C-alpha cells in the first residue's frame, strides 16, 4: 500500500492518520532520522558489549553481556532512580474522618526532560517529577483524596482505574473534565476493588498523553492484607523518541537496562511480590518472563487465588497483575519481555539472589 507520494504506508501510520488530531504527524516524521537509537545500541555491540560479547560471556555474569548501550543513566540527571522506584510506595497522608481512614495524596503534572537510555533524552510529561509517577497505595475501603495540580502548559487529567463516580473519573467533558494549566482539582473516591491498578492522564490525543509519561501504579491492598513479602513495582513502559508512533526504547520503570546494570537484589527463599503493569502505547502486547523459576500469577490482583503457575505472562495495553515468586538458588537470574525486540531495546534486567 502507498500514499500519494508513492511511499509505503504502514498499517501503523494509517491508524495514526485516522486519529485526526495527529493526521499530519506521520508524513512529517518521515524526515526525522529514525536510526539514532538503533545506531547508539549497535555501536555498543561493535565495542564487544553485544550478545555473547567479550566479558559478559562467562556463565557467571560479570558485565554488560546483553545490553547494547554504552554507559549508564545518572539518576541525578532524572531526579529519580529505577533502583528506588522499584520499592517506593506512597501511602499518602493518613487521616481519620468519622471512623474512616482517609488517605490524601498530591500529584503535580509538569514538563520534564528525562534520559531514558544513555544519551537518549526524551521530553516527558511527568506526575510529580517521575516517570512512572509515584506508586500510590491504599487499603480497600479507605477514602482516597488526590489533589491534582497542573503545573504544565497543557490540559491534563488523572483517570484512576477502580470503581467510582463519573465526576471523579478524570475524563474530558465529564465532571470537572480537563484540568487546565495552572488549575487544580481533587479527585475523591473509595479505594476498591483491591488489586493492582493504574492511573493515567485521559486528555486527548490519549496515546500522546499516556506515552509522554503521565501514568503510575495504584495498589489497593485487601482489608486482611497479603502475606509478608519483599514487594516490587514494575511499570513496563516504552518511549517513541523520534515521534514515528512506535517505540525506540523499552524498559521497566523508564530507564533501559537499569536492572541489567544494577540487578534487583532479593533473598533466597523469601517471598517476592511483583506489582506489574503494562503502559506501553503503540505496541499491542508486552510480556514478562523470569528465568530459571516459575511464579504464581494473579491477573489484576483482584482474587487471592492465583490463576497461573508460569514463567511468562502476556499483558495487553493497560493490563496488570501480581506475580509471586521465591528463588530457591542464589545467583543472577534474568527477567525480560519475551517479546525479544523489546528485550534487545532495553526491557531486560536481573535479579541477584543472595543468602
Nearer to Cu ion, 37 or 201 (CB): 201
**Among residues 302, 349, 299, 338, which one has the least CA distance to residue 320?**
299
Question: What span, in angstroms and rounded, lies between the C-alpha atoms of 46 and 41?
Answer: 9
Q: Please tell me whether residue 201 binds Cu ion under the rule CB under 5 A.
A: yes
Distance in Å, CB of 206 to Cu ion, minimum: 9
Residue with cell 487465588: 305
Q: Please tell me whether residue 323 binds Cu ion under the rule CB under 5 A.
A: no
Give the x/- contact pattern for Cu ion in 102-141, rule: CB under 5 A. ----------------------------------------
Distance in Å, CB of 283 to Cu ion, minimum: 20
First to last CA, the chain: 58
Distance in Å, CB of 156 to Cu ion, minimum: 3
Residue with cell 516527558: 124
Is omega for the bond preceding 191 within 30 degrees of 0, making it cis? no
| CB distance 196 to 322 below 8 Å | yes
| CB distance 183 to 228 below 8 Å | no
Indicate which single residue of 130, 145, 156, 260 sits in contact with Cu ion (rule: CB under 5 A): 156
Indicate which single residue of 78, 135, 150, 203 sits in contact with Cu ion (rule: CB under 5 A): 203
* DSSP H or E segment with residue 40: helix 36-44
Subset of 212-241 contacting Cu ion (CB under 5 A):
214
> What is the per-residue DSSP string for 222-271?
-TT-----EEEEEEEEEE-TTSSSS-SEEEESSSTTHHHHSPEEEETT--
Q: What are the angstrom distances between the C-alpha of 288 and each of 96, 235, 354?
A: 39, 11, 22
Nearer to Cu ion, 66 or 209 (CB): 209
Distance in Å, CB of 201 to Cu ion, minimum: 3
Stretch binding Cu ion (CB under 5 A), from 78-86, 94-102, 199-207, 305-313: 199-207
Indicate which single residue of 137, 209, 320, 336 sits in contact with Cu ion (rule: CB under 5 A): 209
Distance in Å, CB of 173 to Cu ion, minimum: 14
Residues in the interface with Cu ion (CB under 5 A) total 5
| CB distance 353 to 327 below 8 Å | yes
Nearer to Cu ion, 156 or 336 (CB): 156
Stretch binding Cu ion (CB under 5 A), from 174-182, 194-202, 232-240, 336-344: 194-202
Which residues make up the interface to Cu ion (CB under 5 A)? 156, 201, 203, 209, 214
Amino acid at each position: 500500500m502507498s500514499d500519494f507520494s508513492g511511499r509505503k504506508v504502514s498499517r501503523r501510520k494509517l491508524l495514526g492518520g485516522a486519529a485526526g488530531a495527529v493526521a499530519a504527524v506521520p508524513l512529517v516524521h518521515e524526515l526525522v532520522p529514525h536510526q539514532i537509537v538503533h545506531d547508539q545500541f549497535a555501536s555498543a555491540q561493535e565495542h564487544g558489549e553485544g550478545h555473547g560479547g567479550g566479558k559478559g560471556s562467562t556463565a557467571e555474569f560479570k558485565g554488560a553481556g546483553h545490553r547494547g548501550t554504552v554507559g549508564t543513566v545518572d539518576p541525578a540527571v532524572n531526579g529519580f532512580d529505577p533502583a528506588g522506584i522499584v520499592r517506593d510506595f506512597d501511602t499518602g497522608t493518613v487521616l481519620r474522618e468519622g471512623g474512616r481512614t482517609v488517605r490524601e495524596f498530591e500529584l503535580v503534572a509538569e514538563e520534564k526532560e528525562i534520559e531514558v537510555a544513555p544519551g537518549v533524552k526524551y521530553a516527558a510529561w511527568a506526575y510529580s517529577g517521575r516517570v512512572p509517577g509515584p506508586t500510590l497505595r491504599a487499603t480497600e475501603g479507605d477514602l482516597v483524596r488526590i489533589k491534582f495540580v497542573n503545573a504544565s502548559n497543557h490540559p491534563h487529567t488523572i483517570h484512576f482505574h477502580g470503581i467510582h463516580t463519573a465526576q471523579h473519573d478524570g475524563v474530558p467533558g465529564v465532571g470537572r473534565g480537563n484540568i487546565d494549566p495552572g488549575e487544580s482539582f481533587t479527585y475523591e473516591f473509595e479505594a476498591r476493588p483491591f488489586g493492582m491498578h493504574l492511573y493515567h492522564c485521559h486528555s486527548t490525543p490519549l496515546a500522546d498523553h499516556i506515552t509522554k509519561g503521565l501514568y503510575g501504579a495504584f495498589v489497593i491492598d485487601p482489608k486482611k492484607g497479603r502475606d509478608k513479602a519483599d514487594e516490587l513495582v514494575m511499570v513496563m513502559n516504552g518511549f517513541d523518541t523520534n515521534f514515528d508512533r512506535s517505540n525506540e526504547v523499552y524498559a521497566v520503570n523508564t530507564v533501559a537496562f537499569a536492572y541489567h546494570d544494577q540487578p534487583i537484589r532479593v533473598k533466597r527463599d523469601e517471598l517476592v511480590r511483583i506489582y506489574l503493569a503494562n503502559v506501553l502505547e503503540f505496541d499491542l502486547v508486552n510480556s514478562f518472563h523470569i528465568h530459571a523459576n516459575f511464579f504464581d500469577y494473579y491477573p489484576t490482583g483482584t482474587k487471592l487465588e492465583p490463576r497461573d503457575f508460569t514463567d511468562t505472562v502476556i499483558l495487553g495495553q493497560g493490563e496488570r497483575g501480581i506475580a509471586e515468586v521465591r528463588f530457591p538458588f542464589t545467583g543472577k537470574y534474568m527477567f525480560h519481555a519475551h517479546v525479544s525486540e523489546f528485550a534487545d531495546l532495553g526491557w531486560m534486567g536481573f535479579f541477584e539472589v543472595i543468602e
